[in-house]
Amino acid sequence: MKNPLTIADWGEFGFIEALRRRLPKASGDLKLGIGDDASWWSPVVGNGILTTTDMLVEGVHFDLSYTSAADLGYKSLAVNLSDLAAMGAQPSTVYLSLALPPGIKKAWLENYVEAFLELAQEYGVQLAGGDTVRSDQLVISVTLCGLARAGKPVLRCGAAVGDDLYFSGTLGDSFLGLKLLRGCLRVPAAFRESADFLKARHLRPTPRVVPGEMLAASGAVTAMLDVSDGVIADLGHLLAASGGLGAEIEACRLPFSVAGRHFIDADLVDYTTLLAGGEDYELLFAVPQDQRLTIETIAVQAAVNLTRIGRITAQTGIFMLVDGSRKVLGERGGYDHFQNPGC
């Protein structure tokens, strides 16, 4: 068949061969990619190898009624890049496995792959292998490998009492975007442009690879992770890993986008709700107070906002400072795979 319409018509090996032909010849650390029983990666001696993996399941992590193939291809790699960014690593090779319904369109799959490879090229990542299987449901599994700068990644377990807390970019955009995509949030006519921006932030998050590498190289960061489950939940992970510490967040310092502010100011969403919303894929990190100038310099060089939002405390729990008063924030928050996210 000259022009197969579905993956069933195309065939597993037809798809793999078409993918192989699109890839450049293995180079650099990647000695052998797709085509053998395993890839061969030979990184520079002395560099730690970091590996992260994410699985995306249709109906759980994405909805094809409002997620295009290109957006899904981009995001399925971006969320893994965010994981390595949180450890200050340089991404290198990626493995892509797809469980595909036989009726999925060839054009859809081509658009998915094109966006995936475009983002990979942007960050110097080589596709080294993967797997494809037949399935009743679309499932995507991505495994990304990278190198730790100077052989030592930044972990989430080193925060100390008195450290400043920083957040990259803006928070809550993805949560608002998801609510808008699901039709769970009213959109006044004047907010249409803001709504489009927020939807795009959910569908195509920006992995903070460059600032992550720069923060790690500075040696100033004591603990760092990426915010995928929500600020409250992920900050809780950092505090627990650092020995059961606590944190104070200053409400007046929270970095919201102009678009996000529109919905907050119109009382369409409470800003504290955005602290529990997931999929920001921004960096949350702790830094000693005497390193503030270092962080300001990195923010300028990396062209990203790095906002000081609070501090690490000895008292356990997460608290919010609002107009001089101190309020307890819930210990839980963010996305839970075993609870219905709903609207």
pLDDT tens, residue by residue, 244-256: 999 999 999 999 9
Question: How many Cβ atoms sit within 10 Å of the Cβ of residue 242?
Answer: 21
Residues 98-117: what's their mean pLDDT? 96
pLDDT of residue 86: 95
Does 206 reside within a domain?
yes
| pLDDT tens per residue, range 35-44 | 656 667 777 7
| CATH classification of the domain holding 54 | 3.30.1330.10
> Has residue 152 got a pLDDT over 50?
yes
Q: Which two tokens stand for residue 114?
A: 């094109």
Do residues 79 and 207 both lie within one domain? no
pTM above 0.85, yes or no: yes
Answer with the residue of higher pLDDT: 291 or 26. 291
- Band (pLDDT 50/70/90 cuts) for residue 340 is very low
Among 46-60, 159-173, 262-276, which is the least confidently predicted range? 46-60
Q: Containing domain of residue 31, as a range?
A: 7-151
> Has residue 333 got a pLDDT over 70?
no
Bridge partners of residue 47, in order along the sequence:
none
Do residues 187 and 67 both lie within one domain? no
Amino acid (one-letter) located at 290: D
- Band (pLDDT 50/70/90 cuts) for residue 339 is very low
Do residues 170 and 102 both lie within one domain? no
Do residues 33 and 135 both lie within one domain? yes
Residues 199-215: what's their mean pLDDT? 97
> Has residue 320 got a pLDDT over 50?
yes
> Has residue 1 got a pLDDT over 60?
no
User: CA-CA distance, 174 to 282, in Å (whole number)?
Assistant: 10
DSSP helix/strand/coil, 103: coil
Pairing of strands 89-100, 139-148: antiparallel
Which of 88, 119, 151 is the C-terminal boundary of a domain?
151
8 Å CB contact between 178 and 246: no
Do residues 57 and 107 both lie within one domain? yes
Helix axes 12-22, 106-122, angle to 10 degrees: 30
Do residues 142 and 285 both lie within one domain? no
Does 343 reside within a domain?
no
pLDDT of residue 13: 75
| CATH classification of the domain holding 295 | 3.90.650.10
8 Å CB contact between 211 and 123: no
Give the count of domains, the chain. 2
Bridge partners of residue 75, in order along the sequence:
none
User: CA-CA distance, 319 to 331, in Å (whole number)?
Assistant: 10
Q: How far is CA 224 from the centre of its chain?
A: 13
Does 201 reside within a domain?
yes
Which of 151, 179, 203 is the C-terminal boundary of a domain?
151
pLDDT of residue 4: 66
| pLDDT tens per residue, range 267-285 | 999 999 999 999 999 999 9
Does 341 reside within a domain?
no
Does 106 reside within a domain?
yes
Does 66 reside within a domain?
yes
Amino acid (one-letter) located at 216: A
Do residues 124 and 175 both lie within one domain? no
- Band (pLDDT 50/70/90 cuts) for residue 11 is confident
Does 252 reside within a domain?
yes
User: Within a 13 Å sphere around the CA of 114, how many CA atoms are in the beta-carbon half?
Assistant: 9
Do residues 281 and 133 both lie within one domain? no
Q: Tokens 């992995």 map to which residue? A: 207
Q: Which two tokens stand for residue 162?
A: 């008195």
Amino acid (one-letter) located at 252: C
Does 158 reside within a domain?
no
> Has residue 84 got a pLDDT over 50?
yes
Do residues 179 and 235 both lie within one domain? yes
> Has residue 335 got a pLDDT over 70?
no
Do residues 285 and 137 both lie within one domain? no
pLDDT of residue 38: 60
Residue whose C-alpha is closest to residue 220's, from 282, 296, 281, 272: 296
Which of 151, 179, 201 is the C-terminal boundary of a domain?
151
Element at 140 (helix H, strand E)? strand 139-148
Do residues 188 and 307 both lie within one domain? yes
User: CA-CA distance, 163 to 252, in Å (whole number)?
Assistant: 18
Do residues 243 and 306 both lie within one domain? yes
> Has residue 15 got a pLDDT over 90?
no
